[in-house]
Amino acid sequence: MKHLWCPWRIKYILGPKADSCIFCLPEHQDQDEERLILYRGQWNFVIINKYPYNNGHIMVAPFRHVMDLTLLSPEEALEMMQLLQRCTKILQKHFSPQGINVGLNLGEAAGAGIREHMHFHMVPRWNGDSSFMAVMDEVRVIPEHLQKTYRDLKTCFG
């Protein structure tokens, strides 16, 4: 039997679960660090994924609770694309990845974990970053604590 020790997960397991959408943010910014909110624009925001596929996995989402790209206003869509561009530059500068996956899963059939509130994923990638862990045991290794990633990236959004 193999064991993978993840002591930081106990806080999530024993903690209260949200009854509401995790992407629907309060207007106040008191919980931004706890929620890992990196940046708030006029129509969209940038957040670190608490359960990342890779180090530096961030998401861009609209403030408005919409589930489809076609429901965004022109202003929301424009700012979202501008944030995706800005985040790309920040991830490239901070992590020096050899690539970045940018993805949007519209609908449950497309793999959306939270289908009611659309969001783009941005995942830095390096050649060979999955190594043997994902292949052998379906395990991902995240080499940096989320709070350190948050503090480092937060300064990039100044």
DSSP state of 51: S
Distance, CA of 94 to CA of 11 (rounded, Å): 28
Check 28, 65, 94, 119 and give the catalytic one. Answer: 119
State the Cα–Cα distance between residues 63 and 118, nearest whole angstrom: 10
The alpha carbon of residue 155 and the mean position of all alpha carbons in its chain are separated, in whole angstroms, by 17
Residues 102/120, Cβ–Cβ less than 8 Å? yes
Give the largest CA-CA distance in the chain.
Answer: 53
Residue 72 CA to its chain's centroid (Å): 20
Residue 119 known to be catalytic = yes
Which residue numbers are catalytic? 119
